Chains A and B, each alone.
Chain A
Amino acid sequence: MKKLLLYCSILGMISLLLAAVPGCAGRKAEPAILTLWHNYGGQLKETMDELIDEFNETVGTGEGIIISVTTISGSASIHEKLVMAANDEPGASPLPDITTAYPKTALLLAEKELLVDLDQLFTAEELSRYVPQFVEEGRLEGGSLYIFPTAKSTEVLFLNRTIFDRFARETGATIADLETFEGIARVAVLYYDWTDRQTPAVSNDGKAFFMSDSLFNYALVGCRQLGADFIDGDSIAFSSPQYARVWESYFKPAVLGRAAIYNGYATDLFKTGEIVCSTGSTAGVMFFSSTVTHPDNTTEPAELAILPYPFFEGGAKIAMQRGAGMCVTRSTRERERMAAVFLKWFTSPENNLRFVSSTGYLPVTGDAFGEIMSREIETIPHEKIKELLSTCRIMQKEYAFLIPPLFQGIDELQERYEAGFKEIASFSRESCRELALNSTLERAYEAVAESALTDFSNQF
């Protein structure tokens, strides 16, 4: 009788299976959808879309993973959304499985125990394939790895070679002059005078030669190059002689109209030929236009040259290390594992180089930076990227990279510093112009510069 019951049970189970088929067929292998927020918008979006589509079609299909991008936004906006989500604010979106984040954002999320320690998802051997200082930057509280290096950048010097060559032919300036900030300042004087001479009818209408996209980074790196720290604890060390030199190197050209003071990126001023060179992130390379448009709508081609980040004479070759990485938020072990599968695929040397080839970010693995890049660099379609990567390889060998300090309030400090510097430089420029009407330019500058640094530092 027991066997009879067993047989009946088997038949019953098969019948149930048959009955359940319409409901369950095709659902067995339903993939997991992982949400991703990233800040690779604009022209970078296309590359990112292609890579994600390819992942979904290949590895994702095999592993049952779909990466779904639910937010493409600027890093500030993503930061804002992540903070809202972390604080569970009304109307906040749920945290994504993977998000791009800068250390300041990651730190905030890590403090709330919302991030996965990536050491649990990657072996030491896997991590050893990545550029060590990039991995190091992602280690936050207690050395836990919260930010996975996906797209790092540094700062370089961008130069409108077309205008520079025309100017250099007539003034004797050379590319070698642009190796140092002092050299740039000297060339900027020549350029101002040269452009002033283009319009003999109008005096003192020379153009700015140079601009730094981030005056905060300019000071951070400049001080470090000269052997001092710009940040002391959580405040700015204004009193060091090294800072005074860094201040003077930008303040003076800015007041005298040789360096631009602009509330935006230098690429805007490049597009209209208002400046010739700038320091900025490698990630901005695709934002440089191949033409310059003048106010009368005439245009001319603009060849972009990319040079290593300048250094102060007698200082060390140091450049900023920048760029967001990707963080994995806490969910289930399986989803966290799947997120790691995507990150590994995305940063594999071949895919990393594909991403790098059209974005201006730096490779993050040793292989991608080394042999593979040497082999593939000629196949990169964008000349700008090709030149950028060549320059970065030189910098990788010759430069040390500075990881910016991380503390609560650094963003606000940076904003205040940059806004304050531009404000005092603009004000001083106007004052200098007025004083120069009755004096020499040098004397007028000395008059406005005398208390400028003190006034500026007193704001903090």
Chain B
Amino acid sequence: MSNIFTRIRGVRRRLQQNPRFSDAAEMPLGQKFYLFLVVLLLTIFLGVIAILQLTGTFTAGLAEKARYFENELVHASTRMASQYGQISLQTIDLAKNLSRSIEQQALGMGISPGHLAGHPHLLEEIISGECDEALFALQLSKSSGVFLILDATINPALEGAAHSRAGLYIKNMEPNIISASSPNIIILRGFPGIGHERLLPLHAQWRMEFDVSEAPYYHHPMEAAKEHPHLPVSRLYYWSDPVRLPGTSEEVMLCAAPLIDSKGSVFGVCGLEISAMLFKLSHMPNNSDYRRLFGMLSPLKDDRIELGRSFFAGGYLAKMIAGEQSVLQIAKQRHRFHTYRQGRDDIFMGLHKSIQLYPQDSVFFHQQWVVAVMVPEKDLMVSVTRLNIIRFISLVLLVIAGVVISFNLSNRFFLRPLSRGLAMIRASDLEAAPRTRIPEIDNLIDYLARRNRELAEKARRENLSLETLDRFLDRIAELTPAERQVFKLYGEECTAPEIAEKLCLSINTIKTHSKHIYMKLEISSRKEIALYITLLQEIGIEID
């Protein structure tokens, strides 16, 4: 028995030495398996990337941000439209009230409002008489200032009197404090006596009169009223760009309406103010996601936004980055965002929409204003890129973890038990082999053990011991090549005439070879040859 297995092992060694089955030529099964795993995971990884790309996941961040910006824009434009609309209406009311009241005062003094310029000594009394109306309008409107400018000066003889106008400008320094019991009201322009009388202090930048040399808020509504005498005040009010009045430090936007007496004579303007601070406090965007997010109200001309003529709300000093006098060109749309370009550089991204400050038949309806919500382009792109980088890194981590875990699990639960099983098969005693816990390997070992037992049983049943087979093999080696050819054909169960025909020999020659074969192998029939060959095949030995 042991001789047979020795032979069997010999046969296997020969097989292993065969180049077809050599390790040097073929990758081991384990490595192949690992390779398949890597290819599988990489395919999944690339597939996921492709799906994410196709479904727009990598640009979904930008779309998500666009929704956020759209919300901010809607909120900002709604609030601004409400505030500016309200102040426009209150300016109209103020202009009507002051026009009527000043006319009554002037007529009481024996002059018409249109001739105030010729009576400078009456100006203080007239203006002082309107102070309470102005204060009432200031408090009602929640604006940061109220003003009244008459087309007259208290000292026509002074140099520069042509651009100096008497009036009153009262500022609320804390317009955002609604419930303040003692509002911080200060006189910016006007007679000091008006302040003294009402315990209103003078502003640090107080002046007696207005300098109207460059004052569109004064000239535009007055000219419009003179050119369009048929139009009501509601079609003649005017919103100035953000400006710094001469001698002041804070930017303001003024809503000015003409003062017109009952005869149609235009004798001044009045209006309300929105200061840069009030704008900022009223329209602060939600910058919890983008710290440098800012809202803006700007005049729009030829798709251009002038930062120097805009109001800002937000923690970020847009003017600082873009320069005080710079102009932003509204450029292309990217993923629902507009880019705002300075020169060749895209410096901001965001959204804007137009806002109507005037009714359709207003003299100033052609003036376009936009509300914008922007952020430096870098901030937006960085946030989206960061999101995608985190996604990509997470995917790579997932793949790496998958590879490592797959290798480990495959090794532990598949390759290592398989090798152990094969080693057991190579071992001599299959009956004593332990269980591998791999059903397939255990079944194979069981099968082989069973086959061995069956062979031994068959050999015993056929009165053929394994020693007999062993001897039979030794005797085969004694056959001549010609006898071996004949023996092989007998093994294929050919008859003597068939063998003679195949080998092109005479029947007698075949008979002679047969005699020698029978004698050397110590057998007596052709069937006995076939039996031996079958037995040998069953134990895995082929006879060449």
Contacts of A244 in B (CB 8 A): none
With an 8 A cutoff between CB atoms, is B25 at the interface?
no
A338 to chain B, nearest CB (A): 15
> Do B180 and A71 touch across chains, with their CB atoms under 8 A apart?
no
- Determine chain B's interface SS by DSSP, over half rule: mixed
Contacts of B277 in A (CB 8 A): 45, 72
B288 to chain A, nearest CB (A): 7
With an 8 A cutoff between CB atoms, is A178 at the interface?
no
Interface string of B251-291 (1 = CB under 8 A from A): 00000000000000000000000000100000000001101
Contacts of A17 in B (CB 8 A): 394
Interface string of A229-259 (1 = CB under 8 A from B): 0000000000000000000000000000000
> Do B291 and A56 touch across chains, with their CB atoms under 8 A apart?
yes
> Do B315 and A56 touch across chains, with their CB atoms under 8 A apart?
yes
B159 to chain A, nearest CB (A): 10
Given A43-B249, A293-B208: A264 and B164 within 8 A (CB)? no
Choose one: B164, B250, B394, B405; the contact of A18 (CB below 8 Å).
B394
Scan residues 276-317 of chain B and give those whose CB is less than 8 A from a CB of chain A: 277, 288-289, 291, 315, 317
Given A22-B60, A296-B155, A297-B154: A264 and B199 within 8 A (CB)? yes
Contacts of B201 in A (CB 8 A): 264-265, 267-268
With an 8 A cutoff between CB atoms, is A319 at the interface?
no
> Do B180 and A73 touch across chains, with their CB atoms under 8 A apart?
yes
Contacts of A11 in B (CB 8 A): 398, 401-402, 405
> Do A41 and B173 touch across chains, with their CB atoms under 8 A apart?
yes
Interface size on B, residues (CB 8 A): 53
Contacts of B291 in A (CB 8 A): 31, 56, 61, 66
What CA separation (Å) do A18 and B207 show in the bound complex? 65
Interface string of A19-51 (1 = CB under 8 A from B): 001100110001101000000011101100000
Given A293-B208, A296-B155, A297-B209: A14 and B401 within 8 A (CB)? yes
With an 8 A cutoff between CB atoms, is A286 at the interface?
yes
With an 8 A cutoff between CB atoms, is A301 at the interface?
no
What CA separation (Å) do A30 and B180 show in the bound complex? 34
With an 8 A cutoff between CB atoms, is B46 at the interface?
no
Contacts of B397 in A (CB 8 A): 14
What CA separation (Å) do A80 and B183 show in the bound complex? 12
B187 to chain A, nearest CB (A): 9
What CA separation (Å) do A262 and B202 show in the bound complex? 13
> Do A74 and B202 touch across chains, with their CB atoms under 8 A apart?
no
What CA separation (Å) do A21 and B180 show in the bound complex? 46
With an 8 A cutoff between CB atoms, is A457 at the interface?
no
Given A18-B395, A73-B177, 17 more A-B residue pairs with CB atoms under 8 Å apart are A10-B405, A11-B401, A21-B391, A22-B64, A26-B383, A30-B288, A41-B184, A45-B277, A46-B249, A53-B315, A71-B177, A73-B180, A73-B184, A77-B177, A264-B196, A264-B199, A268-B196
Instruction: Please list 24 pairs of residues, one from A and one from B, whose beta carbons are closer than 8 Å in the complex, sorted by A's number.
Output: A10-B405, A11-B398, A11-B401, A17-B394, A18-B398, A25-B61, A31-B291, A42-B204, A56-B291, A56-B315, A61-B291, A66-B291, A68-B315, A71-B176, A77-B177, A77-B181, A81-B177, A272-B192, A288-B204, A293-B206, A296-B154, A296-B155, A296-B158, A297-B158
